[in-house]
Chains A and B, each alone.
Chain A
Amino acid sequence: MWDAFISLFINALLFIYQLVGNFGVAIILFTILIRLVTHPLTVKQMKGAAGMQELQKNKKWQDMQAKYKNDKEKLAQEQMKLYKELGINPLASCLPTLIQFPVIIGLYQAVIQALAASPIELLGLTRHVWPTILNVSTIIPLNSQFLWMDLGAPERLVLPFLPFGIPVLALVVMASTYVQSKLMQQPTMGAGGDQAAMMGKMMNLYMPFLMGYLALTLASGLALYFLVSNVVGILQYALMGKVNWGNLLPVRKPARAK
């Protein structure tokens, strides 16, 4: 099952590579394709977040916040009841993010196997390739160079006047993940008391570091995927009118989403 999933990724990626002749461009186009395919999940994520926002305007919700402000346990029980009553899943906005993980791991394996930097990987690649759509003799070996990067290795920009390489892509991935989370941050009315909101804040804080660390240590092909995925994600939200541009300004409180 997993093998078939990886095969699908490898063949889609190599098919695009066969058309465009550049592995970096192939990863960019493949990422856009993945974001389009997972667009329904993005919409679901957005609706989940909007549902939570609407909930906070609900009179019952506001009453219980005031009534049980000194009894967190009871407040949580009442919140749970209200979630059930209104058919809201407080984790609905997180699940689409979690579903991305198999995609990321699959893409990583597809990139590494497609670049085939060792005999085992090349042997594996020859097994995965579908000869009906791909011509093995012409696509192997893949050109792994894209701009200054070797897409099969962690990226560092080496400048002649510096004794060390700068991890440009990791920094950009970290920044774009932070910007994306800030732009999509929803306003909360629970004054930080709601667990789901706290969880969202925690993720917004840790995710840029996690993604930056992965981009720093893994093949730059994957970091390119992270970057493009973030940029496309922001565009998707912007096109749906759900981006809070005001959140990027440091002194302003988070603006309310449209």
Chain B
Amino acid sequence: MSFVKKMKSNKLILVFTFVIGAMLLSACGGVMGASSWPGITATEETVYVAYATDVLAINAGNGTQVWRYPEKADGRRNFFAPPALNGEQLLVGDYTNVLSAISRQNGTERWAFDGAEGRFIGSPLVVDGMILAPSNDHHLYALNDLGQMQWKFEAGHGLWGSPAADGEVVYLPSMDHNLYALRMSNGQEIWRVDTGGSIVHSPELSDDGRIYVGTLANEVLALDTNGNIRWRIPTDNAVWTRPTLHDGTLYFGDLDGTIYAVTADSGSVVWRKNLGSGAVVGSAVVLDDQIIFGTENGQLYAFGPGGESRWNQPFNGKLYSSPVISGNRVIIGIVQGDNLVVALDSNGSELWRFTPAK
């Protein structure tokens, strides 16, 4: 090769390298296709899935798609927060800071709230006609069912977990380490407790007025409605899941892949086991007295209340989403796998699987 040709080729390589570098960086800057995992909500008849550019309604009986929202996908608009049911409306928050109410019947938009300045990562909570939507812009927005803001509350950092409420008081978890208690009528702060670590998921609220939260500081705490910490127990790693309360026992997992059964009244560990299948990120669900956990390495486990193994099923992909119950079925969301949603019966046998059309 002549020197001139070689120099030209070097010049091309140089320009090409810069262009590729710029493209790589620009690509990293856009909204990624999967910056979270499917958010799922279900009734006995329909499974609603928020994932990437779509919100999908799927027939819970046979796994066929009923509708898709929006009709034309917008690459900038990503949905990951589990949709919330509000009568005939389905509430879906997205990563362009918009909370939309769409018809559960056909997926048409009813209204949209665009007053937030941060992503909707956590699911909204609907209590007594009031919509409580946590945003990553540090605010909890209280809306009526027409999408009009009633009040907003500012926390110290992003809000990723859905709040819990008893009709009078809202218990709001925050990434700023605090659990806040707010008056539901006007958003006024009643108390706040520094839990020592970010709270990613929603708290569990019991009928007898206890609030249970897991934190990234490797702990699970129980508080009373006055904000007093009644007990706190250490875990092997960060707790991302909501503790699931069933018959006086809390079930939860940590990022080491250890699952725990703890008495709700005292925090004593009843049993614990490391599943050896990657992190437990999704909360447990209970079906037919079985406690069901999904793992990062794609295993779905069912245990009896005493910790005895009932069944487990492997899947191709990661089970980060919290499984949900639809009638007598367990519905799981899968990320980085062949299917997006799979339904199983209470024995772990597959009923149907769903992959969205491209």
Contacts and interface: CB of A to CB of B under 8 A. Distances in A.
Interface of A: 72-73, 76-77, 79-80, 90-91, 94, 98, 101, 104-105, 108-109, 112, 117-123, 126, 136-137, 140-141, 154, 195-196, 199, 202-203, 206, 210, 213-214, 217-219, 222
Contacts of A210: 18, 22
B28 A109 contact: yes
B236 to A, nearest CB: 12
Contacts of B21: 101, 104-105
B119 A117 contact: yes
16 contacts: A80-B3, A108-B25, A118-B119, A119-B37, A120-B32, A120-B35, A123-B255, A126-B216, A126-B255, A136-B216, A137-B196, A137-B215, A141-B158, A210-B22, A218-B28, A219-B29
A120 B31 CA distance: 12
Contacts, number: 110
Contact of A195 (B11, B35, B198, B215): B11
A24 B7 CA distance: 41
Nearest to B6: A80
A28 to B, nearest CB: 20
Nearest to B19: A210
B2 A126 contact: no
B25 A104 contact: yes
A77 B6 CA distance: 10
Contacts of B29: 154, 217-219
B26 A218 contact: yes
Chain B contact patch, size range: 35 or more
A120 B36 contact: yes
Contacts of B160: 119
A76 B4 contact: yes
B7 A105 contact: no
Given A77-B3, A119-B37, A119-B160, A112 B14 contact: no
B238 interface: yes
Interface in B187-220: 196-198, 200, 215-218
Nearest to B219: A137
Given A141-B175, A222-B25, 19 more contacts: A76-B7, A91-B10, A98-B14, A101-B21, A105-B21, A105-B25, A108-B28, A112-B28, A118-B32, A118-B95, A118-B119, A119-B80, A120-B32, A123-B279, A137-B198, A137-B215, A137-B218, A202-B11, A206-B18
Nearest to B195: A137
B154 interface: no
Interface of B: 2-4, 6-8, 10-11, 14, 17-18, 21-22, 24-26, 28-29, 32, 34-37, 80, 95, 119, 121, 136, 157-158, 160, 175-177, 196-198, 200, 215-218, 238, 240, 255, 279, 281, 320
Contacts of B80: 118-119
A104 B160 CA distance: 30
Q: Which of B3, B4, B28, B197: most chain A CB closer than 10 A?
A: B3
A128 to B, nearest CB: 13
A203 B14 contact: yes
Secondary structure call for the A interface:
helix
A174 to B, nearest CB: 14
Q: Which of A76, A137, A217, A222: most chain B CB closer than 10 A?
A: A137
A117 B22 CA distance: 22
A126 B22 contact: no
Contacts of B18: 206, 210
Contacts of B157: 141
B20 to A, nearest CB: 9
Nearest to B240: A123
Nearest to A136: B216
A76 B2 contact: yes
A195 B21 CA distance: 23
A108 B6 CA distance: 33
Q: Which of B8, B176, B198: most chain A CB closer than 10 A?
A: B198
Contact of A73 (B2, B218, B240, B255): B2
A140 B26 contact: no
Contacts of A108: 25, 28
Contacts of B3: 73, 76-77, 79-80
A122 B80 CA distance: 15
Contacts of A141: 157-158, 175-176, 198
Contacts of B255: 123, 126
A118 B121 contact: yes
Nearest to B31: A118
Contacts of B200: 119, 122
A167 to B, nearest CB: 14
A89 B196 CA distance: 57
A119 B121 contact: yes
A209 B175 CA distance: 38
B216 A199 contact: no
B7 A196 contact: yes
A202 B28 CA distance: 27
A136 B11 CA distance: 46
Nearest to A137: B217
A213 B238 CA distance: 39
